[in-house]
Structure 1
C-alpha cells in the first residue's frame, strides 16, 4: 500500500493553482473538467514528478462540513498539511520575497525547524526541515 494522492481543500481552484505553481513551485499534472466549474486538478513536486499528487479539492464550496473543518483549523492556527524542505530559512526568504504571508516565522523545535504560511485559499501550510 502507498500514498498516491493527497487532498487540500481550496475555495478557489484557479487561485490555488496559481499560488501552488507560481509561488511554491509545484507542477500541474492533471486538469480534467468535472462539470459545474469544478476540475480534477492535481499537482506534483518539481523535485518528485512521479511522487504523490496533490489534489486541489473544491469541497468547501459544495460541502459545508468541510468548510467548517477548514475554518476551524485555520482559526486555531493549525496547518492543513506539511511540506518538507531542505532549508526552511531559505524558503522563508524566497517566499516572503514573493509576498507570501507567514503566521509563524522559522522556528526550531527539537530536531526540526518549521515555518507556517498562508496559502491564500483557506489553509495554513507548514514547511519543515529536519535538522
Structure 2
C-alpha cells in the first residue's frame, strides 16, 4: 500500500474509481475521517486516499504541484488511447502525451490537489 494526500476523500474516491477505473478496496467511516483505498483491477497494490489537511501534507503537495511534479506514476498499456478516453471524461492534463526516451508520458490533474503521471513503455 502507498498513499496519496487528497483534499477531499469522497471526491478523490469518485475520481479514482469512476474516472480512472480503479476498484474500491476499503471504504471505512472512522467517524471524523474515512479510510479509503483503491487499486487497479488485477493488481495487488492499494492506493490510500489520505486526508491532506496536515501542515506537512499541505506543504508537500503544494511543493510538488508548484514544481509541476506528479505525486504518483501509473503505467498504462496504451497511453494515447487512455489520454483520449480521459479527455472525453473532462480530465484536465497539464502535459499531453510526449516521448521521453523509452517511455511515453502524460500528466493529469486528479481534481483533489495532485498531478498524476501516466506512462507507457515504448518498443
TM-score, normalised to structure 1, is 0.90
Structure 1 distance, partners of 2:23, 2:104, is: 25
Distance 1:81 1:46 in 2: 17
Unaligned regions of 5+ residues in structure 1, if any? Answer: none
Could you say which residue in structure 1 is the equivalent of 2:42?
47
Counterpart for residue 114 of structure 1: 105
Report whether the alignment pairs 1:33 with 2:26. no
Aligned length: 122
**How far 1:32 sits from its partner (Å)?**
1.3
Q: Secondary structure at the match of 2:18?
A: helix
**Segments of 4+ in structure 1 off by > 3 A?**
none
Map 1:1-131 onto structure 2 (within 5 A).
5-36=1-32, 38-48=33-43, 51-58=44-51, 60-61=52-53, 63-131=54-122
Residues 53-75 of structure 1, C-alpha deviations (whole Å, 9 max, x = no match): 110000x22x1111011011011
Q: TM-score, normalised by structure 2?
A: 0.96
RMSD: 0.8
Q: CA–CA distance in 2 between the matches of 1:101 and 1:35?
A: 32
